[in-house]
Amino acid sequence: MRCLVTGSAGFIGAHLAQRLVGEGHDVVGVDCLRDNYDVADKKANLAWVAASGPVDQRDLDLSADDLAEVVAGVEVVFHLAGQPGVRASWGDGLAVYTRDNVLATERLLVAAGEAGVGRIVLASSSSVYGEAARYPCHEDDLPRPHSPYGVTKLAAEHLGVAHARNEGLPVTALRYFSVYGPRQRPDMGLRRLFEAARSGSPFPRFGDGSAIRDLTFVGDVVDATVAAGGADLAPGTVLNVAGGSQVSLADLIRQVEELVGARVVIDQQPAQAGDVARTGGDTRRIREVLGWEPATPLADGLARMAAWAAASA
């Protein structure tokens, strides 16, 4: 099967591309290597994927370049490219998020529709729920984004659903919840926590540590994404991909300290705009339609991330 993976140099995208290559699929990767974090990390991800097998890697900007050729002959599009992170999305930063999360998605959807792509899987986010009215969040709950980032992810998801309803475009949107694991982005909290524990450098803790996140191991996220790419789902289906490992930041710090064998020096900071008190996803629907459920307990996932962090130091 010929697959297109956008964001193939990113954290989740590289894991997904490696899985697809390992399963013998013909993989086209697209990534323009934006410098929102160290490009060396992205190039290392590309090298890691290439070591697993042949990948047709393209340097393309989804928001500006011609996409007709790259989607030609593709059977499944996995759209993971986008601008991540809540804190930089406010104010003038919104222009970048609008370009990379909204405009890029619309242009890709149009190109995929014109090429007759069989399935399109969009990476959405638990950020679309914001400060939810109930937990765990169900896909039919009213989205209430709490940040401009969440607004742009919801807009991208709505674009996919709009194309599905108007044209029958075979789009599935997956709402990922707090993905972690080896090769996590350098700006993400858990990687910074492991690095702080190992180095003794201060870890900025925003808020009092009571914030709860539903952590999902990257391998489980890839399993769900691959399953969605191979399933005959109704166009416009939206699914939660949540790990069922809801943990407070304070407890997470304690677990990382135990794994590393060192105390974390806390640099206490005020809570930041856009941060929510809690996340948690209801996974009954994805279990019903894909037979997927998270397979990696938090203790196992953290141990695997700790081993990677130690080997990378």
What are φ and ψ of residue 232, in 5° steps?
-90, 80
Q: Which residues of 171-182 are buried (b: 16+ CB within 10 A; e: fewer)?
A: bbbbbbbbbbbb
Measured distance CA(159)–CA(34) in Å, rounded: 23
Question: What does the CA dihedral 146, 80, 223, 76 come to, rounded to 10 degrees?
Answer: 130
Whether residue 183 contacts residue 17, with contact meaning beta carbons closer than 8 Å, is answered with no
- 97, 129, 149, 180: the active-site residue: 149
Residue 34 token pair: 């934006």
Whether residue 62 contacts residue 52, with contact meaning beta carbons closer than 8 Å, is answered with no
176 catalytic? Reply is: no
Whether residue 280 contacts residue 214, with contact meaning beta carbons closer than 8 Å, is answered with yes
* CA dist 252 → 131, 167, 276 (Å): 21, 45, 17
Residues tagged active-site:
149
